[in-house]
Amino acid sequence: MPTVATGMVSTSDVLAAEKVVDMREDFYVLDPDESQYTTYVMATDKRTATREIVNWLEDEYVPRLSAVAGAGYATGAAVAITVTTGQGSYFLVGNMVKNMRTGEGLWVTNVTGDVITCTRSIGRIAATAGVAGDQLLIAGSGYAQGADFPQTSVAVRVLGFNYTQIFRNGWNFTRTETKIKEYGGANPAKEQAKKFVEHKRGIEYNGFWGGREQIVDPVTGEPVGFAGGLDDFIVSIRRDVNGALTADYLDDFFKDALQHGSKNKVFYVAPLLALQISKMNRSGQGTQWRAEPKNVAGLKVDAFISGAYGYEIPVVVKRDWNSFSSAGKQYGGWGFLADHDYIAARPLTDSDTQLLLNREPRGRDATAGEYLTEMTWEIGWESVHAILYGVV
């Protein structure tokens, strides 16, 4: 016997299952794709790797700077100067050397280990005592007429390396779940789109904070490679702000960080750093902080002019890093200055990011798939990159 409703019928009298839900067909995604570093590297320098470990050679010129060590040296017609340990090989007989504190010119007549013997007072400056820490500039060379072939030296190249890492992000649904009608479309298509962003995000984080290592999986006994990122490579220029960032501190950081390498550098920063840099627009070089972003090499960036070198440095704000804490020098207070002329993405042969479908076991009533990438980073000359951290 049916239930009979009398009088006016309202929404409360209609079966809940009978009502059509007013549901937006597409979803609001909390965090869109923010993998600017990966996107830029892959667009500018991507080369296929042919092994699970990649190598490169780093070369430089014979150094031109050393320093006085030990007790220094006194005045005299000829003098033996002890230089910084291990740097005697920088000098050759015939080198013209300038003590950058006293201005005195010195002509090298003998080199034994880390001790150079010099003729004094080449030029207008009289023989002057040198003290430990005085910088010595090798300012060319001078030889007698008809002299024999001079001594020679070369800078030994350095071998760089990194391991490939296998990145995987997958999904797995029963066949039935993929056939029912759902808001926003059916799975696995919905999840597939999300997994692509998650996959790129994992590669992006590895590009900054990945650790270079190869270990053995204790379960399978097979090797597991981990690709090192910028944090693992950069040793020379790591600056701990240990507080709020000032214009002077930032300029001093750029003075060191921009000295070597190319001008194709990008500063990737947490929002906290961007906020403090933007406040600098009230004075000095900070007035060059661009209020309206523009595209630089395909990246949406703000820019800040270096007070030391006078050219613009693109600044990319990593919005998702705002979720990171800055307490205790955690990643919410970090910034990376990356020289993109010295960075390359190296996907293994036929292993660049791929969408692999039908990954479910044979016979299982399911649908599975994944994004898979095996790649590494080539990061040349760690001293051309830099890290700023400890901003609060």
Instruction: Give the model's pLDDT for residue 76.
Output: 78
Does 200 lie in the same domain as 107? no
CA distance 351 to 358: 18
* CATH number reported for the structural domain that contains residue 105 in this entry: 2.40.33
Does 197 lie in the same domain as 250? yes
Q: Which residues contact 376 (CB under 8 A, 6 or more apart)?
A: 49, 54, 162, 163, 164, 165, 225, 227, 346
Amino acid at 206: N
Does 248 lie in the same domain as 282? yes
CA distance 270 to 293: 16
CA distance 315 to 200: 21
Instruction: Give the model's pLDDT for residue 170.
Output: 96
Q: Quote the crossing angle between the two packed helices 189-209 and 36-44, to the nearest 10°.
A: 80
Does 89 lie in the same domain as 46? no
Residue 279 lies in a domain: yes
Amino acid at 149: F
CA distance 128 to 98: 12
Amino acid at 327: A
Residue 179 lies in a domain: yes
347 is in which domain, residue-wise?
A: 25-60+168-392
Does 299 lie in the same domain as 351? yes
Does 314 lie in the same domain as 229? yes
CA distance 154 to 61: 8
Where a domain ends, among 124, 141, 158? 141
3-state secondary structure at position 166: strand
Where a domain ends, among 105, 125, 141? 141
Residue 159 lies in a domain: no
Taking only the tens place, the pLDDT of each residue in 180-225 is 988 888 899 889 989 999 999 999 999 999 999 999 999 999 999 9
Residue 84 lies in a domain: yes
Does 174 lie in the same domain as 111? no
Residue 217 lies in a domain: yes
In the chain, which stretches have pLDDT less than 50? none
Does 270 lie in the same domain as 299? yes
Residue 238 lies in a domain: yes
3-state secondary structure at position 368: strand
CA distance 382 to 323: 28
3-state secondary structure at position 298: coil
CA distance 386 to 339: 9
Determine the longest span between alpha carbons in the chain, in angstroms: 124
Residue 33 lies in a domain: yes
Where a domain ends, among 141, 158, 190? 141
Give the predicted TM-score (pTM) of the model.
Answer: 0.85
Residue 36, both tokens: 């600017």
204 DSSP 8-state letter: H
Residue at token pair 């050759």 = 92
CA distance 130 to 49: 52
Instruction: Give the model's pLDDT for residue 306.
Output: 74
CA distance 120 to 78: 6
Mean pLDDT, the chain, whole residue set: 89
Does 272 lie in the same domain as 133? no
Does 174 lie in the same domain as 128? no
Residue 146 lies in a domain: no
Does 319 lie in the same domain as 219? yes
How many structural domains comprise the chain? 2
Does 290 lie in the same domain as 376? yes
